[in-house]
């Protein structure tokens, strides 16, 4: 399951991702409808789902601030709001990388993507690891 941050609503990203991703694609607001979801509540919501990958461009509030958890993955794209439409293509490239291509490889990681540079920390390794796409 891919869960998109609410700031990505209205860009048709869920449709674009669903064209190539075999699992479910939804927004964080779908996990708790008709409520305001603060950033600090997102980890609890993700833990209730079956191995979701949460996608955001809100690096400031997630990268280095959210604790890695074995039941979910967080992907932070360093993109301005005006370039959020690039997420589908960039996410597909990321999920095609040998370090992230399966759910088991992604779970427990918080990932930051800046261009072709990927940094991540995990439940097993708090030090930031880096790879190139």
Total tally of structural domains belonging to the chain: 1
Given a cut of 90, is residue 23 above it in pLDDT? Answer: yes
What residue numbers bound the domain in which 66 lies?
A: 2-132
User: pLDDT tens digits, residue range 47-106?
Assistant: 999 999 999 999 999 999 999 999 999 999 999 999 999 999 999 999 999 999 999 999
Instruction: Judge whether 89 and 77 are in contact, CB under 8 Å.
Output: no
Full-model pTM: 0.96
């Amino acid at each position: 399951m891919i869960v998109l941050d609410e700031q990505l609503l209205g860009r048709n990203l869920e449709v674009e991702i669903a064209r190539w991703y075999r699992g479910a694609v939804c927004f964080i607001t779908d996990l708790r409808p008709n409520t305001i979801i603060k950033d600090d509540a997102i980890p609890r919501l993700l833990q209730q789902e079956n191995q979701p990958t949460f996608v955001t461009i809100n690096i400031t509030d997630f990268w280095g601030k959210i604790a890695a958890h074995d039941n979910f993955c967080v992907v932070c794209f360093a993109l301005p709001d005006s370039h959020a439409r690039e997420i589908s293509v960039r996410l597909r490239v990321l999920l095609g990388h040998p370090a992230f291509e399966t759910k088991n490889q992604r779970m427990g990681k918080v990932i930051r993507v800046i261009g072709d540079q990927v940094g991540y920390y995990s439940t097993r390794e708090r030090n930031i690891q880096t790879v190139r796409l």
